[in-house]
Amino acid sequence: MSQRTQAIGLDVGGTKIAAAVVSESGVVIDQERVATPHLDGSAPGVVIANVLADTVSALCTRNDLDVIETPVGIGLPGLVRRDGSLAFAPNLQTASGANFPALLLERCGSRHVHMENDGNAAAVAEHAWGAGQGRSDFAMITLGTGIGGGLIANNQLIRGRNGFGGEVGHMIVEARGIRCNCGKQGCWERYASGSGLGLLTTRAANEGRLPALVLACGDPERVRAEDVTTAAAEGSAEAKAILGELAWWIALGLSNLVELFDIGTFVISGGLASAAGELLPVATAEMVTMIMAAETYQSFEVVPSTLGAHTGALGAALIAMQRSA
């Protein structure tokens, strides 16, 4: 295989970085996961760039790739300008303003580094190889620490004037609601993400609505979102009720997107996708009740990603291949 038929995708999240060597047909050849550092560096993104450079170098060495010429794509949770610079990252603020292509060139010599919003990268991957394959229009929703999004219309990624299109997690769904890391109040991601489930869990535990889990964990403050998803999968009615609340918040955001863009298909990925069996049917049913004249629409689908945990890295790698061609 030539260098340009493989690329490295780096999916940078609030808690972890997922990296993969990807073939031009979407096969993951090698992979690695490392924790996302959050210490302040001497300049924006420096500590993260150090980890990314080490990861790229290690993957290239293991797979006999030229670190200088192999395309590298980076998916980031924030506002990525059309020129590839990271303008602002609410859940990764030590990286806001970082020029990762320049930082990786300095650290490991990579000459073909391309940046994109992580939700956009996930949408590109699902459109090429996953649940969005064969669909000309759909919305990608990534439910992780926050909420990312990517919009595909007429088989094209919608990037917007600045490149900031698809930042669906920062729609306001609760006026003067919970303060978000972005600085606003009431953003969708504060209620319908992994951190949103954490808030719902803590509130329910303190209000006495999770007695079995509180008993098992020993204290209301020790009950975590992961405990709820595990208990729900095991059939716990009290845990399923909390996931039902989360599904309602997910549905609220999806219904807004339907009204705005006339979307028929949503592809869901991210950490919460593991609870898709509990969440998505309820979210779909709730969403329909929130849409004006829902019966006049052709159909609605809310489906899980078929690429799983690799979605973001696959998309970042594909974007790097396309832009390095």
CB–CB of 307/275 below 8 Å? no
Order across the sheet with 28-35: list the strands. Answer: 28-35, 16-23, 6-12, 72-76, 113-117
Task: Tell me the three state secondary structure of residue 9.
Answer: strand
**DSSP codes, 17-74:** EEEEEEETTS-EEEEEEEEPP----SSTTHHHHHHHHHHHHHHHHHTT--TTTS-EEE
Distance from C-alpha of 140 to C-alpha of 31, rounded to nearest angstrom: 23
Amino acid 41: pLDDT: 66
Determine the pLDDT at residue 295. 95
Contact 72, 104 (CB under 8 A): yes
pLDDT at 56: 98
CA distances from 192 to 2, 154, 172, 269 (A): 42, 28, 12, 13
* Helices H / strands E in the chain, number of each: 10, 12
Which one, of 266, 274, 39, lies nearest residue 144 by Cα? 274
- Tens of each residue's pLDDT in the chain, 325 residues: 344 689 999 999 888 999 999 999 999 999 999 999 987 767 889 999 999 999 999 999 999 999 999 999 999 999 999 988 899 998 888 889 999 999 999 999 999 999 999 999 999 999 999 999 999 999 999 998 889 999 999 999 999 999 999 999 999 999 999 999 999 999 999 999 999 999 999 999 999 999 999 999 999 999 999 999 999 999 999 999 999 999 999 999 999 999 999 999 999 998 887 788 889 999 999 999 999 999 999 989 999 999 988 999 999 999 999 999 8
pLDDT at residue 1, as a whole number = 38
User: Which domains, and CATH codes, for the chain?
Assistant: 3-122+310-324 (3.30.420.40), 134-305 (3.30.420.40)
Measured at the CA of 170, the angle between CA 180 and CA 40, to 5 degrees, comes to 50
Residue 151 corresponds to which tokens in the numbers above? 């919009």
